[in-house]
A and B are shown apart, each in its own frame.
Chain A
């Protein structure tokens, strides 16, 4: 596609429910990243994939958070048993070059705003 596409744009859920956030990267981009952005803050790294392999999940806050990219394209970030503190903007980015290479340009989607009531 023309850009990184995320869905849904907005998600309101009740505490304790599971949510799945989807990211469709730019066609041909090999690396995919997830970030979380709290209100008034910059994005913070969660995890990333090179192709279908999850390379670094050090930014995931706890084991309720998981991500997958089974075919090396679309990725899903899943949050189980959501809590109010999970409310934030979740941003996905993709890059043409492998993460770790010099001049790695990451292109971001519009994000999914998650509100947990």
Chain B
């Protein structure tokens, strides 16, 4: 089955760019997603990318997909303290989302 891995922590200075990485095993995922989890809140969909695309940009967010290496990344430009949260990548396998373990992003002034 699908396995999705992420690094656990990332710490960046406010105003810098953040890059969160994800690797997955199942190349049949048609879409790959990034969700954001803040304390006391649900999972918020940030963006997604179709598997035949290499890159997608959405305001401060840039998603890069390397299908050959099964590597997905999320770049957040001009990171703000409000971006501090846990970020999950997820693959879509037939009828369910398969999530990674999440990357905790900490933004310091």
Whether a CB of chain A sits under 8 angstroms from the CB of B80 is no
Answer whether A99 and B102 are a contact pair too, CB < 8 Å, given A107-B45, A110-B40.
no
- Residue numbers in A under 8 Å from B65 (CB-CB): none
With an 8 Å Cβ cutoff, the count of chain A residues facing the other chain is 28
With an 8 Å Cβ cutoff, the count of chain B residues facing the other chain is 24
Contacts of A78-117 to chain B: CB distance below 8 A: 91, 93, 99-100, 102-111
Which residue from chain B places its CB closest to the CB of A101 in the assembled complex? B95
- Residue numbers in A under 8 Å from B43 (CB-CB): 43, 91, 93, 108
- Residue numbers in A under 8 Å from B94 (CB-CB): 100
Interface majority SS on A: helix, strand, loop or mixed? loop
Answer whether A103 and B100 are a contact pair too, CB < 8 Å, given A56-B95, A91-B42.
no
Q: Are A33 and B102 in contact (CB under 8 A)?
A: no
Q: Are B96 and A48 in contact (CB under 8 A)?
A: yes
- Residue numbers in B under 8 Å from A40 (CB-CB): 101-102
Interface majority SS on B: helix, strand, loop or mixed? strand
Q: Are B42 and A105 in contact (CB under 8 A)?
A: no
Question: How far apart are A7's CB and chain B's nearest CB, in angstroms?
Answer: 13
Q: How far is B4's CA from A93's CA once the two chains are assembled, in angstroms?
A: 20
Question: How far apart are B26's CB and chain A's nearest CB, in angstroms?
Answer: 14
Q: How far is B92's CA from A45's CA once the two chains are assembled, in angstroms?
A: 11
State which of A42, A99, A100, A105 has its C-beta within 8 Å of the C-beta of B100: A42
- Residue numbers in B under 8 Å from A55 (CB-CB): 95
Whether a CB of chain A sits under 8 angstroms from the CB of B24 is no
Task: Name A residues whose Cβ lies closer than 8 Å to a Cβ of B.
Answer: 3-4, 33, 35, 40-45, 48, 55-56, 59, 91, 93, 99-100, 102-111
Task: Name B residues whose Cβ lies closer than 8 Å to a Cβ of A.
Answer: 4, 30-31, 35, 40-45, 48, 50, 88, 90, 92, 94-102
Given contacts A45-B97, A110-B41, 4 further A-B contacts (CB under 8 A): A93-B43, A99-B96, A103-B30, A106-B97
